[in-house]
Amino acid sequence: MENTVQVGQRFPLTIKRLDINGRGIGYYKRKITFVTGALPQEVVVAEVTAVHDRYLEATTHRIKQASPDRVTPSEPLFGQIGGVELNHLAYPAQLNFKRDVVAQSLAKFKPSGWQHYDLRPTIGAAHPLHYRNKAQFPVRLIDGHVRAGLYAPNSHRLVPLTTFATQRPLTMQVITALCGMLEDLQVPIYDEAHHSGIVKTLVVRESVATGEVQVTFVTNSAKLPHHLQLLERIAKELPMVVSVSQNLNPGTTSLIWGAKTTLLAGQPYITERLLGRDFAVSPQAFLQLNPEQTEILYQEALKALALTPHATLVDAYAGIGTIGLSLANQAKTVRGMEIIPEAVTAANYNAKQNGITNAHYEVGTAESLFPQWLAQGFKPDALIVDPPRAGLEPAFIQALLKAAPKQFVYISCNPSTLARDLIALTKRYQVDYIQSVDMFPQTARCEAVVKFTRR
């Protein structure tokens, strides 16, 4: 066949829009082409990186005509690492894009009435840089030095980082100091090629409210050589670190965490504050990465839920109870579930610490516990869900449609699975509005709060 496209081939391309991952979309000889680093309304010279039957992938070789929304990236390593894929797009345009991602997902799945949904403008962040309160960085030995950072896209080549556009400075400062200590003490660092060495990943989490820092060493073996000297130096040089743990993750899995976490020094939790309540956060517990925007997201959820007094509320996919406990003073009772046992322990502990007596959390999946509760005669008036990126399980949706609580709000971190779930949910509920919230500025990720009314 003549006119087949080759990898490395270059051609001019007009970019029409961004896809849900923040890549530019253009059409070359009517074939959809995804171009990394290109923005809508731009004319670029695209260089093909992969050829597929139905689409092409390319990078931006040169910009012939720039978008008025193009800005100089604040991250010097933009283009060499992930996690800042929209750093070249002006912030107001990033916010418009996030609302558009919701619209694109709805147009793909077409839930009932989707053309008429009220898609509200995205609520932006007051601080669109240096907001992430957690760094989870692989550690490698590079030219004899211990380095932490992020992988280059589609590779296992580590790009060392000491600062990063979206990370809070303190998390980066602690990571860099820990690398120096590991190097000085010659602690064996994991080597992927030979599956040898010990320290694989450094996880550092900072409480914005208290300034406390939690450190976890993810290791390939149960032994951590020189750990006493390491703990001594952390205590002396990093006084803000109040909690040090080791997580054991042997093997070559791509998962960051193993099953077993041991406290090495300090306290098991650090304390973060959201909407005036204190939350104890254990190393593996899920907590939103941007506390400032989390408060805004939860306030939007509270507003959308519009709880009536004496309501019985279910907090599904509860994590450490942040949402349910924020609502407990407005409800008669709160019942929640979460699959990670440590998170449930923390949720019940957090209820007690905040003087909340009407909230209770159980270990289990939403799709197994919720139907059980209903079978026992439990009738919720209100339900709030905040599922992981995979969205809601079909068995949970069935139970939800059967119980049909009057008040229902869905907090989504993935517009695609949200739009898919809306196909079933709109049988019983109408969508009043979808409010997108920018939880992760500079990235293509988008959170949204959906307010429903029961039909």
* Active centre residues (catalytic): 413
Token digits of residue 322: 């942040």
Residue 403, φ and ψ in degrees, nearest 5: -70, -35
Token digits of residue 357: 């007596």
**What is the total residue count of the chain?**
455
Neighbouring CB atoms inside 10 A of 62's CB total: 11
Contact in structure between 272 and 287 (CB atoms under 8 Å):
yes
